[in-house]
Amino acid sequence: MLEVVIKSIGIWLVISIAAIINGITREKLLTPLIGSDLSLPLSGITLSGLILVITYFTIPFFGKVKPGVYFLIGLLWIILTLAFEYLFGHYAAGKTWDEIHQVFNILKGNLFIVVLAISAISPWITAKLKGLA
């Protein structure tokens, strides 16, 4: 099980790098071009797609394991993502807790909750598509 955790963290780090690049692209390119009302949800959709693609290509690293393991991988990714969002956001970026909570405000176009849902289910979905689950 330790091997699964280590591999999961490694893949999550790749996803995190993709998420950071996605966020920089949104802020530097998309928002100035189309405004935040469109760039924020577009960025959420793009990140969800990136997570699915990364997962699709990396899920074979786990081999064929029980379907429940894939759900645990997704759960670990959610925990790591939330820990990063809150801890880095507050202690490194200097955001208030209320500012950080805004990532859950779907009414403002933030699709972070969708990104979390995709993170949760993408290991199982991609393993199923590849015949591993």
- Determine the structural domain holding residue 118 and report its residue range: 2-129
Torsion angles phi and psi, residue 86, rounded to 5: -75, -50
Number of domains in the chain: 1
Q: What is the pLDDT of residue 1?
A: 85
- Say how far apart CA 52 and CA 125 lie, in whole Å: 9
Query: Global pTM?
Result: 0.93
pLDDT along the chain (133 residues), means of 10: 95 97 96 95 98 97 93 98 95 93 91 97 96 89
